[in-house]
């Protein structure tokens, strides 16, 4: 049995210029370079990408769904942040 | 957590799934949901990995470059599908090493179909057409399954898999339209792969132990018998079209049901193969374990090299 296993990497791919990198999945690799090479083979066999980011999974800090209430609920009652909250005369067609 | 709190969480959880909400890795989930998903997703991943072996057998003997690049690409896809599924399974808190360990010790299963040998080139056609055909029928409903990472992996898998079936059918079509010997080879492959392909869709509904729970969690959207009927109804006309005969004397169109009636499946054979007594069970495991063990020094060397590079970088930074 190996003493050290390859760490896990998260893979982000930009499918074409003009679009953001999007999370595609993860894979194991010994280092960042190998993660890039493996990501190319695993996630872009059919021209799915023009650019790849790899981040070792342990460096990602994620919010906890248990805190979703305090994190996201405050935005729910702030209707005044949306354009439809404001009254305009019908004559104003576009604003 | 008290029993009542857990009950309450479970109720909320079931309601979320009933509303078609997706479950993501960090969400609370019942332990049974986690374990069932680990079992099914890893079994699926293992099937992709073991599934490379019967076809890998023919890459060097493909009859033309066109056939060779297609088969190579298909086997590469299977490696990729195995990797998507392994990493999706790891989001449930099991490590890749544990997953491999379960495969190599026989604790985890893989699809029994890969325990049959690939004797002729026509088997590449039959596998693509029938085995991938049955797999697609199994997999398409999983694109909508409740566990987010599994559903996302399956969407990618399904998108890539339709070429697999078409390349298989094309091989069968060419052989069926070829010399009498070639046609016989295609028919022989169909004869050998037909029944195991029907078995791939799982035990009959009255014998399937996981169906009810899996339907609730949307790990399954149709029962095994429904999927099998769908597979038969779509495949029989395809065989007719290229002049091959389905090896089932009881196969008959049922006007009333608008479906094919079919003969008895040999479930003894199915359970024998599941239990490890199929023609290739031992060989598949031997090849897989051998690949893992013989690759150990490569994995270790890559890790040592990565660490060395890292240290060199740190030294330069000082």
Closest-CA distance, A67 to chain B, in angstroms, reads 11
**Alpha helices of chain B — where are they, by DSSP H?**
3-18, 31-50, 52-59, 65-90, 96-104, 122-126, 132-139, 148-176, 180-199, 211-216, 224-241, 267-272, 281-294, 296-317
**CA B304 to CA B97: how far, in whole Å?**
18
Average pLDDT, integer, range B116-131: 98
Nearest CB to A27; choose among B24, B87, B303: B87
pLDDT at B207: 86
**CA B11 to CA A87: how far, in whole Å?**
42
Tell which residue, B85, B13, B73, B6, has the closest CA to residue B43: B85
Report pLDDT digits (tens) over B271-295. Answer: 999 999 999 999 999 999 999 999 9
Cβ separation B96–A65 shorter than 8 A: no
Neighbours of A52 (CB within 10 A): 19
Tell which residue, B162, B39, B46, B166, has the closest CA to residue B100: B46
Which of A26, A29, A44, A46 should be substituted to probe chain B, the one whose Cβ sees the most B Cβ atoms within 10 Å?
Answer: A26
Q: What is the CA radius of gyration of chain A?
A: 21
Tell which residue, B53, B134, B42, has the closest CA to residue B83: B42
Give the position of tokens 């010997």: B181
**CA B86 to CA B80: how far, in whole Å?**
10
State the pLDDT confidence band at A1, using cuts at 50, 70 and 90: very low
The DSSP 8-state label assigned to residue B57 in this structure reads H
pLDDT at A3: 60
Average pLDDT, integer, range B99-114: 96
Average pLDDT, integer, range A7-15: 97
Give the position of tokens 């009498």: B180
Cβ separation A62–B26 shorter than 8 A: yes
Q: Which residues of B205-225 are buried (b: 16+ CB within 10 A; e: fewer)?
A: eeeeebbeebeebbbbebbbb
Cβ separation A31–B306 shorter than 8 A: yes
Cβ separation B305–A64 shorter than 8 A: no
Q: CB contact, 8 Å: B77 with chain A? A: yes
* Residues B41 and B85: beta-carbon distance below 8 Å: yes
Interface of B with A in 128-187 (CB under 8 A): 152-153, 160
Domains of chain A: 8-81 (3.10.20.520)
Partners of residue A25 in chain B, C-beta under 8 Å:
84, 87-88, 152-153
Closest-CA distance, B113 to chain A, in angstroms, reads 25
Q: CB contact, 8 Å: A8 with chain B? A: yes
| Pairing verdict, β A21-28 and A8-14 | antiparallel
**CA B257 to CA B120: how far, in whole Å?**
37
Q: Is the pLDDT of residue A2 over 70?
A: no
- Residue of chain B whose alpha carbon sits nearest to that of A33: B306
Closest-CA distance, A27 to chain B, in angstroms, reads 6
Closest-CA distance, B26 to chain A, in angstroms, reads 7
Average pLDDT, integer, range B22-45: 96
pLDDT at B102: 97
State the pLDDT confidence band at B220, using cuts at 50, 70 and 90: confident
Average pLDDT, integer, range B29-33: 96
- Residue of chain B whose alpha carbon sits nearest to that of A23: B152
Q: Is the pLDDT of residue B70 over 90?
A: yes
Q: Which residues of A13-30 are buried (b: 16+ CB within 10 A; e: fewer)?
A: bbbeeeeeeeebbbbbbb
**CA B292 to CA B105: how far, in whole Å?**
13
Nearest CB to A8; choose among B26, B28, B90: B90
Average pLDDT, integer, range B17-39: 95
* Residues A54 and A7: beta-carbon distance below 8 Å: no
pLDDT at B239: 98
């Amino acid at each position: 049995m190996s003493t050290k296993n390859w760490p896990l990497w998260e893979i982000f791919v930009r499918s074409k210029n003009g679009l953001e990198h999007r999370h595609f999945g993860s894979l194991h690799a010994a280092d960042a370079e190998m993660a890039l090479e493996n990501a190319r083979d695993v996630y872009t066999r059919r021209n799915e990408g023009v650019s790849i980011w790899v981040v070792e999974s342990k460096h990602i800090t994620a919010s906890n769904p248990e805190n979703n209430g305090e994190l996201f609920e405050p935005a729910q009652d702030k209707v005044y942040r949306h354009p439809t909250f404001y009254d305009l005369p019908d004559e104003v067609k576009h604003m | 957590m008290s029993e009542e709190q857990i009950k309450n969480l479970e109720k909320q959880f079931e309601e979320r799934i009933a509303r078609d909400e997706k479950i993501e890795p960090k969400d609370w989930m019942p332990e049974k949901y986690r374990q069932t998903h680990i079992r099914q997703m890893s079994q699926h991943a293992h099937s992709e990995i073991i599934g490379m072996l019967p076809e890998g057998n023919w890459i060097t003997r493909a009859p033309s470059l066109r056939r060779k690049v297609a088969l190579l690409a298909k086997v590469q896809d299977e490696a990729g599908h195995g990797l998507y599924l392994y990493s999706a399974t790891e989001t449930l808190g099991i490590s890749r090493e544990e997953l491999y360990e379960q495969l190599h010790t026989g604790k985890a299963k893989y699809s029994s179909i890969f325990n049959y040998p690939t004797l002729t080139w026509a088997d590449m056609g039959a596998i693509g057409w029938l085995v991938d055909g049955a797999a697609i029928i199994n997999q398409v409903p999983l694109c909508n399954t409740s566990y987010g990472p599994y559903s996302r992996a399956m969407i990618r898998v399904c998108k890539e898999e339709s070429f697999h079936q078409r390349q298989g059918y094309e091989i069968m079509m060419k052989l069926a339209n070829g010399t009498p010997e070639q046609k016989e080879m295609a028919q022989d492959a169909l004869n050998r792969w037909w029944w195991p392909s029907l078995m791939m869709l799982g035990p009959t509904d009255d014998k399937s132990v996981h169906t009810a729970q899996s339907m609730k969690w949307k790990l399954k959207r149709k029962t095994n018998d429904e999927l099998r009927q769908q597979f038969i109804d779509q495949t029989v006309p395809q065989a007719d079209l290229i002049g091959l005969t389905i090896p089932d004397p009881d196969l008959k169109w049922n006007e009333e049901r608008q479906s094919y009636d079919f003969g008895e499946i040999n479930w003894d054979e199915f359970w024998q193969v599941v239990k490890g007594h199929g023609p290739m069970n031992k060989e598949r495991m031997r090849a897989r374990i051998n690949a893992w063990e013989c690759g150990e020094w490569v994995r270790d060397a890559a890790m040592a090299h990565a660490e060395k590079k890292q240290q060199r970088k740190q030294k330069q930074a000082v």
